[in-house]
Structure 1
């Protein structure tokens, strides 16, 4: 499993605060700055389930498995799962999914996760629940 995360750094933003928002939701192995179409981005790369453990833990702590599962399932595209998180919420250590354009005024944190088994990844991140309780726990997908 490989994850690539993009987050725009707007001219009015402090780059260190954007990095903190990213670090609150993602454990990366590599990070770089890219410029594209006049915009500046932090691009972070992570390998294996460990890179998404913060997303996993925040979903569990906040009890948002059902809504997270719904958003993640809609994000499946072949062997990829694409989803967006609210940058300002991430800075505060809160996981909020962005489902509409312009929902995050400073731009979202965009996750592009490649895996051989997207459904197993989602089962690990946000398992099904009944009456607010997880029906099962899935072990993290095997690392490459």
Structure 2
């Protein structure tokens, strides 16, 4: 079993459609805009590993499988994996893994994966 949760802030200065495009470039599941006020969140939840197929394709097209695998393995802990992606790079269909949310000025795209077999998830994304 795998559960994938995707989240990206939509800040007041950002266009919702552009943030959605950035997320869709790495995630193909359904997305919902929640919140209001100062900022909103674009959220998605999927139980299907194939919803990460766009991320998998970008990793392959950029030929960064070894670096991606190293990043993913470092971020695994107790059946959970959190991936942080630079939102502006994702908008341009590029993968830029980050270690801290502050590395993406407009906030990162967060992908949180829970699975009883994370190695399978990592191999799917980087294999």
TM-score, normalised on structure 2?
Answer: 0.90
**1:17 Cα deviation (Å)?**
0.6
Cα offsets for 1:40-85 (capped at 9, x unmatched) = 2111112211111111111111111111111111111211111101
Question: What is the aligned length?
Answer: 126
Distance of 2:49 and 2:121 partners within structure 1: 8
Structure 1 segments of 4 or more deviating over 4 A? none
Distance of 1:30 and 1:17 partners within structure 2: 13
2:73: which partner in 1?
73
Distance of 1:72 and 1:45 partners within structure 2: 19
Cα offsets for 1:106-135 (capped at 9, x unmatched) = 1100000111100111112114xxxxxxxx
Q: Is residue 27–residue 46 contact of structure 1 (8 Å, CA) maintained in 2?
A: no
Structure 2 unpaired stretches of 5+: none
Q: Is residue 26–residue 55 contact of structure 1 (8 Å, CA) maintained in 2?
A: yes
Distance of 1:97 and 1:110 partners within structure 2: 10
TM-score, normalised on structure 1?
Answer: 0.80
Distance of 2:32 and 2:91 partners within structure 1: 18
**1:30 Cα deviation (Å)?**
4.6
Distance of 1:96 and 1:55 partners within structure 2: 11
1:25: which partner in 2?
26
Q: Of the two, which has the highest radius of gyration? A: 1
2:8: which partner in 1?
7
Distance of 1:14 and 1:22 partners within structure 2: 13
2:103: which partner in 1?
103
Higher helix share: 2
